[in-house]
Amino acid sequence: MASHFPETIDNDAFTDLVIRRQAPSLICFLSEWSAPCREMKPVVEQAADRFYGSLRTFITDPDESPLLAAACSISSIPTLLLFIEGVEAGKIVGVRSFEDVEKMILSGINSSV
């Protein structure tokens, strides 16, 4: 079985891919220089693989996309934001388990049905 990895996203693509299309999306704000972010990256990749086809998963570095980070009010990393129908529906800050991320995603998706 092939693994599905998160896509990269920046401020320009955010409006088109997340807000306008309103597809369920998980956006992960991570930086390579951050040890907690490096710890969280495999969890995000696992979520991308687990929810492939029902959720678009994106990764962005707030240092490289400061406008997107500001628009999403990111004050610390790692931060994961769940968007359902173009609206923020969940948020996780800090290092968390895959089960925590999965629970947030399922809760957001199920509440929109």
In a domain, 1, yes or no: no
The tens digit of pLDDT for each residue in 6-43 reads 888 877 888 777 777 777 999 999 999 999 999 999 99
DSSP 3-state of 110: helix
Q: What pTM did the predictor assign?
A: 0.89
Instruction: Output the domain CATH number for residue 15.
Output: 3.40.30.10
Q: Which residues contact 29 (CB under 8 A, 6 or more apart)?
A: 60, 61, 62, 69, 72, 74, 77, 78, 79, 80, 81
Q: What is the residue range of 55's domain?
A: 7-111
Please give the C-alpha separations between residue 43 and each of 12, 20, 76, 100, in angstroms, as whole numbers. Answer: 26, 27, 18, 10
Tell me how many domains the chain contains.
1
Per-residue pLDDT, averaged over 61-73, amounts to 92
In a domain, 2, yes or no: no
Per-residue pLDDT, averaged over 75-102, amounts to 95
